[in-house]
A and B are shown apart, each in its own frame.
Chain A
Amino acid sequence: MKFYKEHYDVIIMGAGLAGLSAALQLQARGITDILILEKHNLPGGLATSYVRNGIEIEATLHEMMSIGSKQDRLKVGTFFDEMGIDIDWLKVPEAYRFIEKTKKIDITLHSGFRTMSDEIDAQYPGWGDKVYDFMNLCNRVYNSMNILSVTPMSKPEMLRKHPDFVKTVGYSAKQVMDTFKFPQDIVDILTPYWIYVGNPMSSLPFTIYAFLMADYFRGGSYVCRNFSHEMSMKLQAKVEENGAQIEFRQEVEKILVRNRKVYGVRTKRGDEIFSDYVISAAYPNKVYTQMIEPLSEVPVEAIKMVNARKLSVCPVSVMMVLDGTPEELGIRDYNVFSGDTMDTDKIWENYHTLGPYGYLTSICLNLANPGCTPEGYTQFSITALPLVDPFLNVKETEYHALKRRLASEMIANYEETTGVNLHDHIVEIEVETPVTVAHYVGAWKGSIYGYSHSLDDHAVARLQMKEEDHFIEGLEFAGAHSISGNGMGPAVTNGRAAAKGVLDSRKEQKEDYRLVSGYMKLADMLNRRKGADK
């Protein structure tokens, strides 16, 4: 029985947002002979949902960045529009409410640079304009980043056209923010999003922080009316409509390599399928230490690279369906960040343990998407984003007890912070950990955030070192582990970048081929002429 063709132009491992976006980008450039192999029986990777007793529950998506309003579309929103993908986006009501319990900071910020500066000014009079300046700096860096990631330019030109970007690249978020001399409270208020790129402010590149702040506060973020499964399904449907073959429940076990060049894959069930190009959603750690066949094709530089890089944070999420409307339950906020401290170095220490976790983010999905549950229920989640390290030694027999302990601590913490009673209203509850992620999507060590954004693994450096990070011809990576890093918006960008890698390489080869065939024609002509001469 043959389930596959012998050969495809491109094989994509993983039907997550990155893999599907890679396929769309390839198709837009005329490559349609694509096979996508997905481990799970659903598209979207973590952008998915599940159903418990008839209620659909969002699996991960807090909010989608880089979409923008119809009037001010941002990068990912524009791409979806261009690809003809029409998602029913709902804007989230506020950026966040931030509660710092020790200093008793309690403030809610909405999107719009002016709006949020005014909200800070109302509590800290006189500081609004400076916050506004700071946000505009973030926005300039954001715009530059979006241009420079696709348009290479010389250093002098870059300095002339993108001075703020150039001048802040080498500094941490803390270093740049310090130059504004904000009172500590305002620093704290501007910090909560740091965890979405997982590294303390003292080592988080300002570039990444600025990107995040500008993107989230410029036009606000969005959720899909029918959960992130809507986005995944619509991407999949378009990719299939454009002619790609997608097969679920197919985990790729080996990537076949000869002379440092990809020639195919082998699935867990044993199918060998050939292609000159493979785009991998699997982490480089796994690819270079388990999947390349034979492993002798892996250069030592690739091993040194994956060993040197540090994995970013992973999720511990408590997902609940509660009986009662948000109003009845007293839940007023869509998104709350809360903790005893906003010292990110201290939170980082806490995130190197198995809890109890102090710094939490909570989402009440109904307040962005009132129809997400049947009438009279609320969908609510609490998340901490610790490092994977403390989970590495968890034993099978301890696992369920650990999950329950972490969940009850997080619920109690939220209840104490907000005075809302959750535990008496739980109808459904699921606890997600790095182990859950590993189970469903197979991500390396359950990591959802790829490699840590740090000053010694800076996105700008990643971009500059693109060629030297490339070890196997025809093998591209698309996932949180690639250049733009983690998040569902960046996942799309990462997928498109991987497609570009394939397209550039094919172009080179075509040119090689043209060159060769040119020579052949010339030789042929000369031969014929020789014949004629005779």
Chain B
Amino acid sequence: MKIESFLKDVGGASRVTSARREKFRKGSPLPEPEDPIRALSDALHPDKMRFIVTDVRDVSPTSKTWRLRSTDGHIPIFQSGQYVCFHLQIGDSVLNRPYSISSAPFESKCDNPFIEVTIRRNRPYFVPDYFFDHVKVGEVLWGSMPFGTFYYEPLRDSKNVVAIAGGSGITPFLSMAREIAAGWLDVNLTIIYGSVHSSDIVCGRELDEIDRKCDKVRVVHVMSDDPDWQGEKGFVNREIIEKYSGEDTTYMFCGPYAMYTFVEKIMKEMGVPAGRFRKDAIAQPDVSLIPGYPSDKKEEVYTIKVMRGIHEDIIQAAASEPVAVAVERAGIALDTHCRGGECGMCRSQLLEGEIFVSPIGDGRRRMDKELGWFHACSAYPMSDLVIKIPIL
């Protein structure tokens, strides 16, 4: 074959080599270490943030809101419904806890940006106790954000959103309502908010104020046990949901597992298509509520050999608690984010032993299931284990 001439054709290899050499010879000798794409990705997902508490206020008889600023002045962009993860050291435990951000995204973009988290303590509980008792104004907290895929996505969701919230599950919708009220998000939001008693309503005053001022946001309270309540009563049910739903609605749910199973059933009955029902990551409930959990093992205690590189630790683990909890209690850092089995941040390797994986929010990849990788936040030891986790 011939392209141009025999001589030119056979000289191709030396031609391209000298072209390349020549090109390199002309290259600039000044190092260019800047990578704006990585810089942008680091700005959107900072590795570790140092927050300082600038305000703590009561938002119900049992809940408070903490306002946090980043000590470097930068808060990454987030979307209503996403969460911040705090890295805490409480006693000997090293742990991570996710909290939905209850402030609005626009508040983290203005001068003096901040985020807020709202935590409820209606009964003694490890991490909320810590916040209520120890995290005061001026306190430094380490964390990272934003995480989670529970947010309004205009490419997918209907502009008409009915949010169904239970208890402290109101926080992502509070963020959304604030964003809508300030004119930054174009969504018609109806919040159906279930509480036991009107004194349990978290951020009730603020919600009602937004409801009053903004015609795009409506808040419907539903009390399950409050005889004096004037509005909707009982549990959030199909009738109430249908009453406040319009045409083509996207439903968003955030609340405890027991309420989720109930709402999921209603969605099925109503014939809501899968894409029109979104749920936030759900924290694993007590094992007695997890479908399929072998209750005869509940009282067992096992040992776990935890490998990090060539280092080994032997720790105790209750069959009734996720592997992640045992690891944290032993003071070993493990990066968990969602705590619901979905996000996979705490992906770990099972080298020996048996585990039970909660079917609630099981986000494992197929090959991970087959080759023994599991999410430590939602897996329970069923024998002595050998596991491998990342060195942090």
- Give the B-binding residues of A (Cβ under 8 A): 1-5, 41-42, 49-54, 56, 137, 155, 159, 163-164, 166-171, 175-176, 179, 205, 226-227, 229-230, 233-234, 237, 245, 247-250, 269, 271, 285-286, 288-290, 295, 298, 300-301, 303-309, 323, 388, 391-394, 396-397, 399-400, 404, 407-408, 411, 423, 425-429, 434-436, 438-439, 442, 444-446, 455-458, 460-462, 464-465
What residues of chain A lie closer than 8 Å to B2, measured between beta carbons?
Answer: 167, 179
Of residues 1 to 38 in B, which have CB atoms within 8 Å of A's CB atoms? 1-3, 8-13, 15-17, 19-33, 35-38
Residue among B31, B149, B342, B364 making CB contact with A289, cutoff 8 Å: B31
Among B24, B79, B364, the one with the most A-chain Cβ atoms within 10 Å of its Cβ is B24
Closest to A57 in B: B365
Whether A175 touches B3, Cβ cut-off 8 Å, given contacts A41-B347, A230-B367, is yes
Contact among A307, A396, A423 with B32 in the assembled complex (CB-CB below 8 Å): A307
Our pick among A271, A423, A461 for the contact of B16 (Cβ within 8 Å) is A461
Task: With both chains docked as a complex, state the minimum distance between the C-beta of A376 and any C-beta of chain B, in angstroms.
Answer: 9
- Among the stretches B150-158, B168-176, B218-226, B319-327, the one at the interface with A is B150-158
Interface stretch among B41-49, B84-92, B377-385?
A: B41-49
- Say which residue of B44, B153, B275, B345 sits within 8 Å of A41 (CB atoms): B345
9 smallest CB-CB distances across A and B, nearest first, come from: A170-B12, A3-B309, A308-B27, A304-B27, A427-B275, A169-B12, A289-B33, A249-B390, A458-B16
B41 touches which of A305, A408, A439, A455 (Cβ 8 Å) = A439
**Is residue B274 within 8 Å, beta carbon to beta carbon, of the partner chain?**
yes
**Is B12 a contact of A4 with CB atoms below 8 Å?**
no
With A391-B37, A426-B156 already in contact, the answer to whether A303 and B27 are too (CB < 8 A) is: yes
Contact B310 A5 (CB under 8 A): yes
Q: For B392, give its contact among A170, A205, A249, A445 (CB under 8 Å).
A: A249
Query: Quick one: given A247-B309, A438-B38, A455-B16, are A428 and B156 in contact (CB under 8 Å)?
Result: yes
In the assembled complex, the Cα of A455 lies from the Cα of B368 at a distance in Å of 43
- Which of A166, A229, A290 is close to B10, meaning CB atoms less than 8 Å apart? A166
Q: Are B20 and A247 in contact (CB under 8 A)?
A: no
> Which residues of chain B have C-beta atoms less than 8 A from A171's C-beta?
3, 12
Known pairs A54-B362, A137-B1, A439-B45; A3 contacts B311 (CB<8 A): yes
With A399-B44, A400-B77 as known contacts, state yes or no: A465 contacts B21, CB within 8 Å. yes
Given contacts A56-B365, A170-B13, 12 further A-B pairs with CB under 8 A are A2-B309, A51-B342, A226-B366, A245-B310, A249-B391, A285-B32, A303-B31, A308-B26, A309-B27, A435-B44, A445-B37, A457-B20
Q: How far is the CB of A433 from chain B (nearest CB, A)?
A: 9
> B308 contacts the other chain (Cβ, under 8 Å)?
yes
Please tell me if the beta carbons of A446 and B37 are within 8 angstroms of each other in the complex.
yes
26 example contacts (A-B, Cβ-Cβ < 8 A) are as follows A2-B310, A5-B310, A54-B362, A56-B366, A167-B2, A169-B13, A237-B371, A285-B32, A289-B33, A306-B27, A306-B32, A308-B24, A309-B23, A323-B273, A396-B76, A397-B109, A399-B77, A426-B155, A429-B156, A435-B41, A439-B45, A442-B38, A445-B36, A456-B20, A460-B13, A464-B13
* Alpha-carbon gap, A393 to B11, bound state (A): 42
Does B128 reach chain A (CB closer than 8 Å)? no
For the complex, give the distance between the alpha carbons of A507 and B238 in Å. Answer: 74
| B274 x A427 contact (CB < 8 A) | yes
How far, in whole Å, are A457 and B15 apart by their CA atoms in the complex?
A: 11
Collect the chain A residues with CB atoms within 8 Å of residue B8's CB: 170
Q: Hey, which chain A residues are within 8 Å of B311, CB to CB?
A: 1-3
Q: In the complex, how many residues of chain B place their beta carbon closer than 8 angstroms to a beta carbon of chain A?
A: 71
B377 to chain A, nearest CB (A): 13
| Complex interface: chain A residues within 8 A of B204 (CB) | none
Of the candidates A53, A271, A394, the one having the most CB atoms from chain B within 10 angstroms of its own CB is: A53
Q: How far is the CA of A142 from the CA of B337 in the complex (A)?
A: 47
Contacts of B16 in A (CB 8 A): 169-170, 205, 455-456, 458, 460-461
Contact A289 B310 (CB under 8 A): no
Q: Chain A residues near B149: list those with CB within 8 A.
A: 52
Tell me the nearest residue of chain B to A322, going by C-beta. Answer: B275
Among B20, B310, B367, B371, point to the contact of A458 (Cβ < 8 A).
Answer: B20
Complex contact B24–A305 (CB within 8 A): yes
| Residues of chain B at the chain A interface (Cβ within 8 Å) | 1-3, 8-13, 15-17, 19-33, 35-38, 40-41, 43-45, 76-77, 79, 109, 149, 153-156, 273-275, 279, 308-311, 335, 342, 344-345, 347, 362-368, 370-371, 373, 390-392
A460 touches B344 (CB 8 A): no
Measured in the bound complex, the distance between the Cα atoms of B23 and A175 in whole Å is: 22
Most buried by B among A51, A407, A442: A51
Q: What's the least CB distance linking B364 to chain A, in Å?
A: 7
By beta carbon, the residue of chain B nearest A171 is B3
Could you say which of B22, B28, B41, B364 has the most chain A C-beta atoms within 10 Å of its C-beta?
A: B41
Assembled-state Cα–Cα distance A35/B100 (Å)? 38
Chain B residue numbers with a CB within 8 Å of A399 are 40, 44, 77
Instruction: Give the distance in Å from the alpha carbon of A53 to the alpha carbon of B148 in the complex.
Output: 12
Q: Of B20, B40, B156, which one neighbours A461 at CB under 8 angstroms?
A: B20
Q: Which residues of B contact A461 (CB under 8 A)?
A: 13, 16-17, 19-21
What's the nearest-Cβ distance from chain B to residue A384, in Å? Answer: 16
Q: Contacts A407-B155, A446-B37 given: A288-B31 contact, CB under 8 Å?
A: yes
Q: Are B10 and A159 in contact (CB under 8 A)?
A: yes
Q: CB-CB < 8 A to A429: which residues of B?
A: 153, 155-156
Q: What residues on B are CB-neighbors of A164 within 8 Å?
A: 1
B124 to chain A, nearest CB (A): 33
A408 to B155, CA, bound (A): 7
Are B31 and A295 in contact, with the CB atoms below 8 A? yes
**Chain A positions within 8 Å of B12 at CB level:** 166-171
Q: Note all chain B residues with C-beta closer than 8 A to A408.
A: 155
Contacts of A428 in B (CB 8 A): 156, 275
Q: Return B69 CB to nearest CB of chain A, in Å.
A: 18
Q: Give the complex CA separation of A179 and B4 in angstroms.
A: 9
In the assembled complex, how far is the CB of residue A323 from the closest CB belonging to chain B, in whole angstroms?
5
Q: Do the beta carbons of A166 and B13 come within 8 Å of each other? A: yes
CB-CB < 8 A to A458: which residues of B?
Answer: 16-17, 19-20
Within 8 Å CB of A285, what residues of B?
Answer: 32, 35
Contact pick for A303, options B1, B29, B308, CB 8 Å: B29
A167, A295, A427, A465: which has the most chain B beta carbons within 10 Å?
A: A167
Chain A residues in 8 Å Cβ range of B155: 404, 407-408, 411, 423, 426, 429
